[in-house]
């Protein structure tokens, strides 16, 4: 295939997931840039199974790996720039755009996007500062934290179709809910988005971001291998509270344990495998259901084949 990026075979996905577990991808593609990605997708056989990969921070890949093609965008599609949205405050030479947009490609780290907005004294994306994923992953998951969420900030998103064609679609074409996004059927992946941001005139958004990061550090096992929150919070409750109330903090299966600091985080240690994590997830679900009657649903995406 005539691409400029890198194509590898049997690349271990444990090298690309935050849990550091997961078997090999049959084919692993890292495009050189956006055009290269389009060339690659256009040439893919229609029946080839595809998995988009950002920073693998919400992904459990089973130990047998992924029998298809993984497209890895982090480190490739990282363009970031400021644009002007609709609406202007003031008149004449003093005019300040009331809403600006930031264009970010899908491989951009969320923290980089948040810093870019902060450096421009712009509000709206501070919640992304502590999310260790890419813009593509944030769009796919409707990532959010501390009251902020991805999709309410999106003005439009660029998607790619299976035939390699691309389209900019307004945010209204996507339905989103808590950690959930419904995309038009023809969209197989995100390649970029434009985010609405507003002037952070009094610096209050920057303060909120700083405080949120401090709260995250104090309450979450930051820096240990995890995928963040393992389960979605049930309506009106918290998965962490339910897991803790069942006495499951610190529970271990193989190399996977429930964090003692934050019970919705499952941590892995050297030697852990994806089956340990998946079994622990199943055990937490079964125990919480049996003791409280509440079903916990995984927030993390579980993909691939068992070993
Ligand atoms: C320590 C820690 C803290 C976290 N805190 C938060 C938090 O506060 N809030 C929160 O929401 N999440 C949090 N997460 C989870 C995770 O960071 C987010 O879900 C993030 O958005 C995932 O991005 P990613 O690039 O790593 O996606 P990946 O894990 O690589 O992929 C996740 C899903 O998105 C899909 N995907 C990725 N890129 C694309 C693309 N370009 N097009 C289409 N689909 C794509 C994948 O196929 C997969 O289904 C945390 C994780 C960790 C490890």
Question: How much of the chain exceeds pLDDT 90, in percent?
Answer: 93
List the catalytic residue out of 18, 57, 226, 229.
Answer: 229
Burial class (CB in 10 A: 0-12, 13-18, 19+), 112: middle
| C-alpha triplet 243, 248, 252: angle, nearest 5° | 130
pLDDT value, residue 96 = 54
* pLDDT of the residue at 85: 52
Q: What is the distance in A from the centroid of ligand 1 to the CA of 219? A: 20
Quote the pTM value.
Answer: 0.95
Same fold, 6-72 and 80-219: no
Domain spanning 80-219, CATH class? alpha beta
Residue 26: other Cβ atoms inside 10 A: 15
Whether 179 sits among the annotated catalytic residues: the reply is yes
Active site residue 299: yes
Cα 122 to ligand 1 centroid, rounded to whole Å = 23
* Structural fold of domain 6-72: 3.30.43
**CATH class of the domain whose range is 239-303:** alpha beta
Would you say residue 66 has pLDDT above 60? Answer: yes
Domain boundaries, the chain: 6-72, 80-219, 239-303
Average pLDDT estimate for 102-129: 97
Q: If you measure from the C-alpha of residue 114 to the centroid of ligand 1, how many angstroms do you get, rounded to a whole number?
A: 15
The region of weakest confidence among 23-27, 63-67, 82-86, 271-275 is 82-86
- 10 Å CB burial of residue 166 (0-12, 13-18, 19+) is middle
């Amino acid at each position: 295939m005539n691409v400029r990026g890198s194509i590898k075979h049997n690349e271990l996905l444990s090298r690309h997931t935050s849990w550091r577990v997961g078997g090999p991808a049959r084919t692993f593609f890292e495009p050189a840039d956006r055009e290269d990605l389009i060339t690659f997708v256009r040439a893919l056989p229609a029946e080839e199974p595809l998995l988009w990969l950002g920073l693998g921070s919400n992904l459990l890949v089973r130990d047998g790996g992924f029998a298809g093609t993984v497209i890895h965008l982090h480190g490739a599609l990282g363009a970031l720039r400021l644009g002007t949205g609709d609406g202007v405050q003031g008149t004449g030479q003093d005019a300040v755009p009331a809403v600006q947009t930031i264009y970010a490609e899908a491989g951009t780290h969320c923290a980089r996007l948040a810093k870019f907005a902060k450096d421009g004294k712009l509000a709206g994306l501070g919640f992304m500062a502590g999310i260790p994923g890419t813009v593509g992953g944030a769009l796919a998951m409707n990532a959010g934290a501390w009251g902020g969420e991805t999709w309410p900030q999106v003005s439009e998103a660029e998607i790619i179709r299976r035939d390699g064609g691309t389209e900019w679609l307004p945010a209204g074409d996507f339905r989103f809910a808590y950690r959930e996004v419904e995309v038009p059927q023809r969209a197989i992946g995100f390649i970029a988005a434009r985010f609405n941001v507003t002037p952070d005139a009094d610096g209050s958004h920057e303060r909120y971001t700083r405080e949120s990061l401090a709260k995250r550090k104090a309450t979450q096992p930051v820096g240990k291998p995890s995928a963040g929150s393992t389960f979605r919070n049930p309506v009106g409750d918290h998965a962490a509270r339910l897991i803790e109330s069942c006495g499951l903090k610190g529970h271990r299966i193989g190399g996977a344990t429930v964090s003692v600091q934050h019970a919705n985080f499952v941590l892995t240690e050297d030697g852990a495998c994806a089956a340990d994590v998946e079994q622990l997830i199943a055990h937490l679900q079964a125990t919480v259901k049996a003791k409280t009657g509440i079903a916990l649903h995984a927030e993390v995406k579980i993909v691939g084949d068992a070993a």
